[in-house]
Structure 1
Amino acid sequence: MADMEPLVRKYSDNGITTLTLNQPQRRNSLSMAMLQQLSEDLDTIAQDTETRVLVLAAHGNVFCAGHDLREIRENFDAHEFQLALFEQCSKVMQQIVNLPKPVIARVAGVATAAGCQLVASCDLAVAADTARFATPGVNIGLFCSTPMVALSRNVSRKHAMEMLLTGEMIGAVRAEAIGLINRAVDEQILDETVYRMARTIADKSSHTLKIGKEAFYRQLELPLGEAYDFTSQVMAENLQAVDAKEGICAFLDKRKPEWNDL
């Protein structure tokens, strides 16, 4: 019966969509099939005007153990498959970053290797204080090179290198301290914390959120002067939006804005 279960469960309510990795018996590993399903779901959500915020969660006591090593062993001699697997994984991570809606990782349990990469790729992350994180590829002779991309864009170089070179687990409190996650909370209030954050964000103009998220990631890669030039243009264009005018007027009139998402 387990094989009949969907690889990823999808649930939507009041503008918040939750995608739940649903292969706990395989430690929610990122097999090719899992990655392809995630990619399809992300494409759908990108076009879904009802979804304002995406929560990425997992079923079971492991958030995601990274790539499916059994699948990799079965394809030791299939270089084309190996390359396609890592390219598909990289595609999914970029889909998350490029998704025109904020993405929150809800982490309970362990997130290792590409699972840690998945957390780092999300815009925000909230974890149970019992959660643990690692990029342990070095321990099995396969350096976490693709997870390194997301990790090094979230934490400082030395913290990233420590995780990558030692392969050791770090706890949620440490992960919060180095910036891998936003908050480490008691597991009993994990859902409350995640969905309160999601509802707060979902209450904003989706058009404004789209503009801001895209600009955030673009300016990160620019020199300081170019970043200010770019974001000045973004703000001037944003000011022409219906919701920007509505928001400013509502603030000055001391009333709640009525978003048009335009």
Structure 2
Amino acid sequence: MNTPTLTPTPPSASTPISAPTLIGIAQNGPVLHLRLNSSAQDDTLSAAVLDELIGVLDSLHERPDIRILVLSSMGDDFCLGADRREYQEALTLDPTGATLRRIADRAHRLCQALENTHAITIARLHGKVIGAGLALAAYCDLRAGADTCRFRMPEVGVGLAPAWGGAMGRLIAEAGAARIRELMLTCDVFDAGTALRLGLLHKVAPLDQLDDTVAAWTRPLARRSPEALVLTKRMLTGYAKAARTADIALLDSHLLTAQLIPHRGGD
């Protein structure tokens, strides 16, 4: 995978960014790069990874100097989705489902943090972008993907309703109810060209040109008025939320847990 060589620059604010161990992090001026899939983890979103991503995003409240966040991956794929093995282990250790609900609530908190951070967020996608990985990308403001990307929403195929991070409403808002309905029900794999037509990608490029494509966004964004960027992002987010007649995202953790806990019967 072709990734840019970053020279971290000293932060211009006094509040340091938390130092994660499961994700890569580097600052290049006003641009913060976060990379999934370090050598210490696989290609899924575990609870520990969610916590580290949330920690970084929370720290940005005190870092107005960081104006752009680029989310990418160091692995062969951007993300293969949620860690379903961790879900089963959580239920084995805590059959009440409380632990699993806490993991699912972290996913919702992460997606809300991406949506609400002042920084303009950019998803740099390559390889497979599956389930929760697609949900995570959908919450970024801008998305660029390699022309070899493959996308899938597999939840129905493994016996689950899509309930990760409250992403269904976001996906429908970005790509339209009819096509998201089809892709969720069929679990079909779709390519970068289809994602571009749906609005799930804004730009598609060959993998070796993907960094230049992202830089074509970050360079002008870094020159924009910080206040104008923040206000515009908040206006866009507000109008998007206002267009949703209902938001049941807070139920996602309960929906997920209810599906995985064996039914015990009773009156």
Structure 2 distance, partners of 1:149, 1:219, is 14
**Match for residue 196 of structure 2 among 176, 187, 191:** 176
Amino acid at match of 1:62: D
In the TM superposition, 1:93-242 aligns within 5 A as: 93-146=111-164, 147-222=167-242
Q: Which amino acid aligns with 1:170?
A: F
Between the aligned partners of 1:191 and 1:82, the Cα distance in structure 2 is 36
The answer (yes or no) to whether the contact 1:97–1:121 under 8 Å persists in 2 is: yes
Gaps of at least 5 residues in structure 2 are: 1-19, 244-267
TM-score, length of structure 2 as denominator length: 0.78
2:12: which partner in 1? none
Amino acid at match of 2:139: S
Q: Distance in 1 between matches of 2:99 and 2:201?
A: 32
Shift of 1:184: 1.1
TM-score (ref. length: structure 1): 0.80
Structure 1 distance, partners of 2:43, 2:142, is 20
Deviation at 1:195, TM superposition (A): 1.6
**Per-residue deviation, 1:78:** 4.7
What CA distance in whole angstroms lies between the structure 1 residues aligned with 2:61 and 2:191? 32
Task: Give the number of the structure with larger relative contact order, counting CA–CA contacts within 8 Å between residues 6 or more apart.
Answer: 2
Select the residue among 74, 86, 102 that pairs with 1:71: 86
Match of 1:88 among 76, 94, 106: 106
Q: Give how far 1:95 is off.
A: 0.3
Structure 1 position 105, deviation (Å): 0.1
Structure 1 runs (4+) deviating above 3 angstroms are 23-27
1:166/1:59 Cα in 2 relative to 1: closer, same or farther (>3 Å)?
same
1:58 to 63, 68, 73: 73
CA RMSD between the two structures? 1.6
Structure in which a larger fraction of residues adopt helix: 1
Q: Quick one: which of 33, 55, 72 aligns to 1:18?
A: 33
Structure 1: how far apart are the matches of 2:150 and 2:128? 5
Percentage identity across paired residues of the two chains:
29
The structure having more radius of gyration, on CA atoms, is 1
CA distances 1:132-187 after superposition (whole Å, capped 9, x unpaired): 11111111001213332321121110111111111111111100000011011111
Structure 1 unpaired stretches of 5+: 224-262
Whole-angstrom CA distance in 2 between matches of 1:43 and 1:186: 33
